[in-house]
Structure 1
Amino acid sequence: MAKPKSRELDPATKAYNEGLQYITEHPMFAPLALHAHFIRREGNQCPEHGWAVTTSDGFIHVHPKRRGLPEEWVYILAHALLHLGFGHFRVMERQDLWNAACDAFIAKFLYDMKLGRPPAGMDGRVELAAKSEEELYDTFVERGLPPSFHNLGSAGHGFQDMLLNSRDTGYYWSNRQVNWQDCLGKGLSMAVTSAVNVTAGYEAYLGAQKEVLTPALKARNWFISSYPLMGAMAADFTIIEDPILCNRLSITVAAVDAEAKEIYMNPAAGLDEQECRFVLAHEFLHVGLRHHARADGRVPYLWNVACDYVINQWLMEMGLGAFPRIGGLYDPELKGLSAESIYDRIVNDLRLYRKVATFRGMGLGDILPPSKPDWWERNDGLALDDFYRNCLSQGLDYHYDQHRGLLPAGLVEEIRALSQPPILWDIELAKWFDHYFSPVEKFRSYSRISRRQSSTPDIPRPRWVPDAGDEDGRTFGVVLDTSGSMDTKLLGKALGAIASYSLSRDVPLVRVVFCDATVYDQGYLAPEVIADRISVKGRGGTILQPGIDLLERAEDFPKNGPLLIITDGFCDRVTIRREHAFLIPKGQSLPFVPKGKVFRMD
């Protein structure tokens, strides 16, 4: 059978994408394009014979099938964005004449700028005697609209390309309060600076990256010199401000790469120094509090959103910088909750939280995934873990020593908790045994002679013996994953720990079940037998549910007996109706979130 050909973009879509990419990378239009939203789909608000229309809330509806050259799309998209940047959305008595006056000024602006090429039927070369849109509008009201001004808009003849009250688009952006004039001013500043540097030979092309002291770098320097809590992390991270790279990575405002120790800041977002302080502190806390390593099987994006709510609440309480005007995740009702608690809320109400946007954008987390999923298990990953924890721990001490002010209690608690070494898995397993198997009650009995009786034969000495019947039901079940992917060293560690803890807690027998593609019931085994040599059966696939069902339905197994499941994590979802715990390798996660405890073995 012939291999199907890869699906390529149609010529219309390809030309549109090229024009859109040029506009989003142009230093003058990048801030406007970053905040606008382009809709190119069937049923949008663009007229049948038009090119594009712009709404007052920043949505640009593009004709989904219109064919044009890339330079024609550059002209159309720039025209639509300039309506926003010039502040043309006003309520006038003759809205059609006002739209025509605004189209004329944009056409004159783009013609003088020599940007793109107007499509056939849209003559971009116009002569204007008026000095402003208002003056031209008054002329049109007084004398009428001349024929040469009929086809300057992007909506086609007889239609307006500015919509004040558009119908619901089905999109929602959280905390969107965009000042379009400020975005255009930022773009003009970037374009002029870039043009001067190109002329002077400091840049190879318009919009190329250069070494200047930007607001983000000023904010980073402020952390190093004046804020010890995050100064060490600020000194070690590299700030990357490349609008083209940020556009390729779909970064709206900022994102952090913990593995590479890089923070991406999109200059097109137009943040000032105070806003950059807030955003940088936000990213520093993501890394310093190990949010990238604490997901533990949770959905990465939803976990990122939960952490954002916590961090932004702390930064607002601390008064550190200014909350970005472009928006962010902040809800006063979630104050005092941990990231884990907020995550539980989110998964129970996905309809409310699925459209929120992080600093990277809607549907994307600002914690960039590592290039290699297992990087945290390597030596360099562990060294970075220590570095990040030490940075915040020492920074907290310096913060208090220099009397820098109060910090939120939740932030201090998390930093203190991270500065403590983690509890080893075998210690946690010992606590699990203590919970289910309390020490057996003993009493003194003269029926058995004490060992000290021989030294003083004339003095009768009783012996401590366990109470009869206390050992009844003192057992638990072990479901052992014996699939081919299971590491033999892992099996040895797990079985050895189980045997030693069973002996120390006076557990006489353990019910053992091997389980891979089928079930092998070994019955009750003494702990010393498990610790010695045991014949492992299986080494096939991984299906744990039959083994769990066998123990839950066994008549000779206590109804309240807990289960201990040892697996490598590569298993299907299981249903367990009694107390249980999982032993899995460190760094692995289960394909489901169990209600019982999870011990990750080294």
Structure 2
Amino acid sequence: MPKKTKTADPATKQVNEAIQYISDHPILSPLSSRVRIIRQESSPYPEAGWAKVTLRGTIYLHPKRRGETSEWIYVLAHCLLHLGLGHFKVKHEKPHYWNAACDVYVARFLQDLKIGTPPADMETRFDLPVRDEQQLYSYFMERGLPPALNFVGTAGPSVGDMEYNDKESYSYHYSGKEPDWEAYLAKGLANAVTRAVSVAGGHLDSITSESASLTAAARAKRWFIDHYPLLGALAAGFKLIEDAQLCQRLQISIAAINVVDQVIYMNPSAGLTDDETLFVMAHELLHAGLQHHERCMGRDHYLWNIACDYVINLWLVEMKIGEYPRVGLMLDPELKGLSAESIYDRMVADIRVYRKLATLRGNGLGDILDNGSPGFRDAREGQRLDDFCRNAMQQGLIYHEEQSRGYLPFGLVEEIRALGQPPIKWDVELARWFDHYFTPLEKKRTYSRVSRRQSSTPDIPRPLWVDSGSAEDGRTFGVILDTSGSMDKKLLAKCLGAIASYSAARDVPMARIIFCDAAPYDAGYMSPDLISDRVKVKGRGGTILQPAIDLLERAEDFPKNGPILIITDGECDRLRVKRDHAYLLPKGKHLPFYPKGPVFRID
């Protein structure tokens, strides 16, 4: 005959279900995991009640009591709260009154939390000014204990459910040390708040629902949001993707970031520790916050990525965020204090060596993904991504300093504050360029020419203020206009208008204009009035600007110290310019080489 399977009786099953519920509840789980629950006939359980709790963290349940699961949940939570609220730390003259005061306070606490269902033989209806246990105790000492409150505890009528004289030893969890029950309850309340935020964000259905254990990358992201305000706002704004197959397709060995899509990729098969994951997460967030993608400006993408990695890694090691991963990343103490632009200039001198280095993405690959996009602009967002990253870093720096969260490298703080300044308009930068080369003409008084006010005082000679020296003495510059078919007419008109205005304002009488596409066309010297008027553009063919530069530099009638303005859309070959020069480019365009002169980006 088949053996009969032994099943637990319904009472035991309901008790086990209640214990499991308490163990999973975010508020009570830190307490329940550190107590000992005994349900045996040989234990000192309350004969007329449900349960009692001892000073050392042992809960004795009545082995023969029958009750619903929700009732056992209420009883267990009541006993645990006696420990968590520190009720055992106070022992008064009449302990029965103190026990009743604590029972009333716990009953109201559970009623507010809506945990479990009070058993039918326990009184929970009372009209008392519940403020705290001490005031309730004083109230009972003055007026006596109402008869109904003899049924509020879990140990039965007129029996205290808090046992101070416990002969049992501490649970094995504590190694003989007295547990800090109040700290465990505080931890549970913090867990409940965290889960409540997750419920509000749609990540959990309720605060008691089970959630998957967080990965190391998810824990790192949460750590920045909760504990590191400098990068917390950035971490909250980026989506974390941990997909080994996707990382393999994108050739991401450890991590990478796509600022346009606001995504951070972390390869779960990289095998990083928690501290190393913190370092890698901060590394990627700083790429976005410091706008390294936008600051590339025509440089070699991979070499620029390497230069930025050198700067970031030195800062993170100095800031002691996480642990530097030993995977051959860039870390050179000799480069400390240098900007990414300066490091890039050093690397260009020996490109073959630096192209063999590896980023967090891998050898020969940059961990700043751009999907072919030249900038941060994303048409799907109402706010520009570079504005979001800049504002996040600014707010994070303010919170970091206000809360004294630790030391930050001076170079990082200086760069964040520099990014926080509003960008200067291109025409303002162009005006400063003109001021550098064309200082205002000094004026002097001369009696050789009569002042306009001389007629008002015929007997008093009045001198006239005139410019000193010759206005044409070297005050000129060259303009090379890219007139290829890819250049926009409106862009050319805007550049010429700005050049004419600044030339007239700074007493520049003439400018040498050269149109260039497949071949140079020398328009000669033109006054600001003629430039601002209609200019007949010649060419509209291909783009070869070097002949125009050579023509201007070899011209005998062009001053040796005369600067050059080059107006192009970036679709040109590498240029060799010996004298001072500057570029005017449309916003979002980049030169295919590292520019030696300033670049003004036209809106």
Partner secondary structure for residue 447 of structure 1: strand
After superposition, residues 95-244 of structure 1 pair within 5 angstroms as 211-244=212-245
**Partner deviation per Cα, 1:403-427 (whole Å, 9 max, x = no partner):** 1112000100110000001111111
Q: CA deviation at 1:455?
A: 3.0
Partner secondary structure for residue 479 of structure 1: strand
Once residues 422 and 237 of structure 1 are traced to their aligned partners in structure 2, the CA distance between those partners, rounded to angstroms, is 24
Partner of 1:363: 364
Q: CA deviation at 1:459?
A: 2.5
Q: What amino acid sits opposite 2:398 in the alignment?
A: D
Structure 1 pair 271–377 and aligned structure 2 pair: CA distance change class (3 A): closer
Answering whether residue 259 of structure 2 is matched by residue 268 of structure 1, we say no
After superposition, residues 26-425 of structure 1 pair within 5 angstroms as 211-370=212-371, 372-373=373-374, 376=377, 378=379, 380=381, 383-425=384-426
Q: CA deviation at 1:264?
A: 0.9
**Partner deviation per Cα, 1:190-218 (whole Å, 9 max, x = no partner):** xxxxxxxxxxxxxxxxxxxx953111111
Please tell me whether the aligned partners of residues 377 and 384 of structure 2 are also in contact (alpha carbons under 8 angstroms): no
Once residues 214 and 450 of structure 1 are traced to their aligned partners in structure 2, the CA distance between those partners, rounded to angstroms, is 84
**Partner deviation per Cα, 1:328-372 (whole Å, 9 max, x = no partner):** 221112111111111112221234322221111111111112354
Once residues 233 and 345 of structure 1 are traced to their aligned partners in structure 2, the CA distance between those partners, rounded to angstroms, is 31
Answering whether residue 433 of structure 2 is matched by residue 432 of structure 1, we say yes
Answering whether residue 446 of structure 2 is matched by residue 445 of structure 1, we say yes
Once residues 377 and 460 of structure 1 are traced to their aligned partners in structure 2, the CA distance between those partners, rounded to angstroms, is 68
Please tell me whether the aligned partners of residues 473 and 561 of structure 1 are also in contact (alpha carbons under 8 angstroms): yes
Partner of 2:500: 499
After superposition, residues 456-495 of structure 1 pair within 5 angstroms as 456-495=457-496
Partner secondary structure for residue 508 of structure 1: coil
**Partner deviation per Cα, 1:211-253 (whole Å, 9 max, x = no partner):** 5311111111111111111111111211111111111111111
Please tell me whether the aligned partners of residues 574 and 593 of structure 2 are also in contact (alpha carbons under 8 angstroms): yes
**Partner deviation per Cα, 1:559-582 (whole Å, 9 max, x = no partner):** 221111111111222222211111
Q: Return the index of the structure with the highest Cα Rg.
A: 2
Q: What amino acid sits opposite 1:247 in the alignment?
A: Q
Q: What amino acid sits opposite 1:253 in the alignment?
A: I
Once residues 416 and 494 of structure 1 are traced to their aligned partners in structure 2, the CA distance between those partners, rounded to angstroms, is 31
Once residues 509 and 466 of structure 2 are traced to their aligned partners in structure 1, the CA distance between those partners, rounded to angstroms, is 15
Structure 1 pair 381–307 and aligned structure 2 pair: CA distance change class (3 A): farther
**Partner deviation per Cα, 1:358-415 (whole Å, 9 max, x = no partner):** 1111111111123544663757496111110000001000000001112000100110
Once residues 548 and 414 of structure 2 are traced to their aligned partners in structure 1, the CA distance between those partners, rounded to angstroms, is 41
Please tell me whether the aligned partners of residues 375 and 381 of structure 1 are also in contact (alpha carbons under 8 angstroms): no
Once residues 535 and 371 of structure 1 are traced to their aligned partners in structure 2, the CA distance between those partners, rounded to angstroms, is 36
Q: CA deviation at 1:446?
A: 1.3
Partner of 1:563: 564
Once residues 490 and 362 of structure 2 are traced to their aligned partners in structure 1, the CA distance between those partners, rounded to angstroms, is 44
Structure 1 pair 509–326 and aligned structure 2 pair: CA distance change class (3 A): closer
Please tell me whether the aligned partners of residues 551 and 557 of structure 1 are also in contact (alpha carbons under 8 angstroms): yes
Once residues 351 and 521 of structure 1 are traced to their aligned partners in structure 2, the CA distance between those partners, rounded to angstroms, is 41
Please tell me whether the aligned partners of residues 306 and 340 of structure 1 are also in contact (alpha carbons under 8 angstroms): yes
Answering whether residue 535 of structure 2 is matched by residue 530 of structure 1, we say no
Structure 1 pair 326–590 and aligned structure 2 pair: CA distance change class (3 A): closer
Partner secondary structure for residue 444 of structure 2: strand
Q: What amino acid sits opposite 2:495 in the alignment?
A: A
Please tell me whether the aligned partners of residues 299 and 592 of structure 2 are also in contact (alpha carbons under 8 angstroms): no
Once residues 498 and 285 of structure 2 are traced to their aligned partners in structure 1, the CA distance between those partners, rounded to angstroms, is 39
Q: What amino acid sits opposite 1:339 in the alignment?
A: A
Once residues 254 and 375 of structure 2 are traced to their aligned partners in structure 1, the CA distance between those partners, rounded to angstroms, is 27
How much identity, in percent, do the aligned residues show?
66
TM-score normalised to structure 2 length: 0.63
Once residues 415 and 503 of structure 1 are traced to their aligned partners in structure 2, the CA distance between those partners, rounded to angstroms, is 38
- Corresponding pairs, count: 393
Partner of 1:575: 576
The two structures, once aligned, show a CA RMSD in angstroms of 1.8
Structure 1 pair 497–370 and aligned structure 2 pair: CA distance change class (3 A): same
Structure 1 pair 223–375 and aligned structure 2 pair: CA distance change class (3 A): closer
- Of residues 281-290 and 353-362 in structure 1, the stretch that sits farther from structure 2 once superposed is 353-362
Q: CA deviation at 1:540?
A: 1.4
Structure 1 pair 516–326 and aligned structure 2 pair: CA distance change class (3 A): closer
Once residues 559 and 237 of structure 2 are traced to their aligned partners in structure 1, the CA distance between those partners, rounded to angstroms, is 57
Structure 1 unpaired stretches of 5+ = 1-209
Please tell me whether the aligned partners of residues 259 and 381 of structure 1 are also in contact (alpha carbons under 8 angstroms): no
After superposition, residues 17-28 of structure 1 pair within 5 angstroms as none
Partner secondary structure for residue 446 of structure 1: strand
Partner secondary structure for residue 376 of structure 1: coil
Partner secondary structure for residue 512 of structure 2: strand
Structure 1 pair 332–298 and aligned structure 2 pair: CA distance change class (3 A): same
- Of residues 403-412 and 543-552 in structure 1, the stretch that sits farther from structure 2 once superposed is 543-552
Please tell me whether the aligned partners of residues 269 and 326 of structure 1 are also in contact (alpha carbons under 8 angstroms): no
Q: What amino acid sits opposite 1:542 in the alignment?
A: T
Partner secondary structure for residue 297 of structure 2: coil
Q: What amino acid sits opposite 1:303 in the alignment?
A: W
Once residues 515 and 413 of structure 1 are traced to their aligned partners in structure 2, the CA distance between those partners, rounded to angstroms, is 42
Structure 1 pair 508–532 and aligned structure 2 pair: CA distance change class (3 A): same
Q: CA deviation at 1:288?
A: 0.4
Partner of 1:455: 456
Once residues 336 and 578 of structure 2 are traced to their aligned partners in structure 1, the CA distance between those partners, rounded to angstroms, is 35
Structure 1 pair 372–469 and aligned structure 2 pair: CA distance change class (3 A): closer
